[in-house]
Amino acid sequence: MEVNYANTQLLCTKLTFNKEDSKIIKIPKRGEIISQLKYDKIKESKLIEFQNMFNNKSNGN
């Protein structure tokens, strides 16, 4: 694995996972399954919403 950030480059030669500390991921009981297209639309609308919130705060409103 290689990570580049600005002028820094990190290169991993070995990844070790602790099996003793592994957590069991539980399936959610609430929510709904949506398509990728619906997810993309929600993500886009939230991005616009957050941008508007940020712009309003930076304008002093």
Q: What is the DSSP string of the chain?
A: -EEEETTEEEE-S-----STT--PPPPPSSS----HHHHHHHHHHHHHHHHHHHHHHHTT-
Domain ranges of the chain: 35-61
pLDDT tens digits for range 8-59: 998 988 888 877 777 788 888 999 999 999 999 999 999 999 999 888 776 6
pTM: predicted TM-score of the whole model, two decimal places? 0.46
